Structure 1
Amino acid sequence: KSDKASVINNILGVEVESDEYFVKSVKRDGEVNGRKISLINTPCWWEIFGLQDSPEVVKQELVCSVFLCEPGPHVFLLVINPSLSFTEENRLSIEKHLSLFGEKIWRHTIVIITGCDSLKDKS
């Protein structure tokens, strides 16, 4: 399972298929502590593509994903696995992709770091 699918599984308490290779955003609904929530799983991009290299369909899908949760998202979850190398190029890719949502995106972004168990024996 991808890290994003694992986060969705943990938050919603459902079993979500792996999401590593798809081009359409997928809406998942659930309930947490009596509140209905929706999670929008967007196509993977930051580990693979810089903004200039992302297929146009992926960029369009990222922007259109906000319309799956009217009146719009409250929070963006940015899922990062620290066991993967994180380069300056990755950081710039994240900034450029998230800029597609506007300049205030970082006020609404929560970074979720997954896979920390795999780092126990690393310094």
Structure 2
Amino acid sequence: MKSATIAFAIALGVLAGGNPAAYAEEGGDAAAGEKVFRKCKACHAVGDGAANKVGPQLNGVVGRTAGSAADYSYSPAMTSAGAEGLVWSPDEMDEFLTKPKDFISGTKMAFAGLRKEKERADVIAYLATFE
């Protein structure tokens, strides 16, 4: 985990006033991200009443420590990443969503990743709307 990345995530949180939805202003289109999220729905849920599925529910994921959603059994690799300080900033999420298994070797996430930068930015903006 890069200390500069952690510092960026903390600074971004402070600048955003602690409001994860402010992250959406950093790049993507949340409405377009809702469409991209269809690729994620088989394993993840967001919104009112969202529950863990094959993957954890993603309410409040932007700005959250990795491996910390309640009542979800994470891989040891994801739990370790969180314990080492990984916080899901937009930059960290972008890297993870590009190719999850390359970013965190040993993650349970079987999804190959989103190749298009615009799709990643849009889905991150969409996820940032859920606290």
Task: Please say whether Structure 1 and Structure 2 have the same fold, judged by a TM-score greater than 0.5.
Answer: no
Higher relative contact order (CA 8 A, sep 6+): 2
Q: Whose strand fraction is larger, Structure 1's or Structure 2's?
A: 1
* TM-score (norm. length: structure 2): 0.27
* TM-score (norm. length: structure 1): 0.29
Q: Whose helix fraction is larger, Structure 1's or Structure 2's?
A: 2
